[in-house]
Structure 1
Amino acid sequence: MQLLLALSRLIDTINARIGQAASWLILIVVLISAGNAVIRKLFDISSNGFLEIQWYLFSATFMLAAAYTLQRNEHIRIDLFTSRLSPRGKAIVDIFGTVLFLMPICVLLIKFGWALFMDTYTTGEMSPDAGGLIRWPLFLLIPVGFSLLLAQGLSELIKRIAFLQGLIADPAIKSDDVHKEPV
């Protein structure tokens, strides 16, 4: 189990770094959006490419930070049903939810996302809008994002099982002073 916990820590570290880096994409999106608006108002010039890069970066933020959000226990939960459960009961619900829902959905979306990416990459698909961007980088985010989420699901599964075995403290309890990092 110690080897699995080491794997869990590695996955956590990777997803934390990717999630924190992805958060900077929001600033870039805001700057591009503001710059695009200023240029459009001052010079009456606009670009579909600027609009699309905003969408791409927002998508990248969402897809690359989803695993980090799961790690931080910030996803929408079914607290209405689990709020009265003990920490052990919540861990069991998390295990079943991860195995029965999160992991199978991730596997399907990785499989179909990869096929979609390959199709757009091999055909060189472009945006139909004038001045639009190539599409394959956007579609690559689907299998990459869900692969990160699947790995984080595995990490959370390892931690919940270790908690039930009494090897670690409850991983669902946030320690804000330990995990809080500047963004």
Structure 2
Amino acid sequence: MHRTDADQEERVPHIIRLYVRWVDRINRFIGRFAMYFVLIMMVGFLYAAVVRVGFNLYTNWMMESAQFLLSAYYLLGGGYSMQLNAHVRMDLFYSRWSPRTRAAVDMVTIWMVVAFLVFLLLGGISSSQYALEYNQRNYTAWAPPLAPIKIIMTFGIFMMLLQTIATFFRDLAAACGKEIE
């Protein structure tokens, strides 16, 4: 099929489609991978319960491990959740609007999310650098190093920021009556 110049003008630029496609693909992979962290936590809690009841031993490291896994779970899954449109939204008027109106409003409000994520990312980078530089450890009996989870959390925030920008491009296309497949 031969495309005319008018057809080319109606399409979203290739670089934007490529960006959205790759960010979606990466966040989908990371989000689906992070879903298994819940299963790991369940196995860990089962182990801790059996050891506690069966052998009267306390596994203080399990609670901290679960906290770390839960933090990684929701921050690594944030971009995937945004991609699936599974995040919380105030729906006073939103559901009554047309898809193009929703996309136009989302294009404006998404910049508040971008600003928030940029500040979180800067804080995460600073906190990760501090944890690496000073070998920061948690103040508990187990005292695990904090750098690995801080780096994972910062990476999750970065991926959510990339997904937010991809969502902006998708909303921009929808507001103009186009679609990014």
- The TM-score with structure 1 as length reference comes to 0.87
Deviation at 1:125, TM superposition (A): 1.4
Deviation string for 1:141-162 (max 9, x for gaps)?
Answer: 3321110111001111111111
Change (3 A) 1:132 1:44: farther
- Name the counterpart of 2:54: 42
**Equivalent AA in structure 2 for residue 41 of structure 1:** V
- Name the counterpart of 1:3: 15
Counterparts in 2 of 1:140-159, with a 5 A limit? Answer: 140-159=151-170
Matched, 1:129 2:140: yes
Deviation string for 1:49-77 (max 9, x for gaps)?
Answer: 22211111111101100110000000001
- Name the counterpart of 1:60: 72
Distance 1:22 1:81 in 2: 33
Deviation at 1:84, TM superposition (A): 1.6
Distance 2:101 2:53 in 1: 57
RMSD: 1.4
Deviation at 1:121, TM superposition (A): 1.6
Deviation at 1:117, TM superposition (A): 1.2
Question: Unaligned stretches of 5+ in structure 1?
Answer: 172-183
Distance 2:56 2:141 in 1: 16
Deviation at 1:39, TM superposition (A): 0.5
Deviation string for 1:69-107 (max 9, x for gaps)?
Answer: 0000000012223122111110011111112x1111111
Deviation at 1:130, TM superposition (A): 0.9
Answer yes or no: is the 8 Å Cα contact 1:52–1:132 preserved in 2. no
Count the aligned residue pairs: 169
Deviation at 1:118, TM superposition (A): 1.0
Answer yes or no: is the 8 Å Cα contact 1:110–1:146 preserved in 2. yes
Question: Unaligned stretches of 5+ in structure 2?
Answer: 1-12
- In terms of mean alpha carbon deviation, does 104-113 or 135-144 score higher? 135-144
Deviation at 1:48, TM superposition (A): 2.1
Change (3 A) 1:121 1:48: farther
**Equivalent AA in structure 2 for residue 30 of structure 1:** M
- The TM-score with structure 2 as length reference comes to 0.88
Answer yes or no: is the 8 Å Cα contact 2:51–2:58 preserved in 1. yes
- Name the counterpart of 1:163: 174
- Name the counterpart of 2:126: 115
Answer yes or no: is the 8 Å Cα contact 1:22–1:61 preserved in 2. yes
Q: Which residue, 80, 98, 105 being the options, matches 2:92?
A: 80
Answer yes or no: is the 8 Å Cα contact 2:99–2:174 preserved in 1. no
Deviation at 1:165, TM superposition (A): 2.4
- In terms of mean alpha carbon deviation, does 65-74 or 2-11 score higher? 2-11
Distance 1:166 1:110 in 2: 33
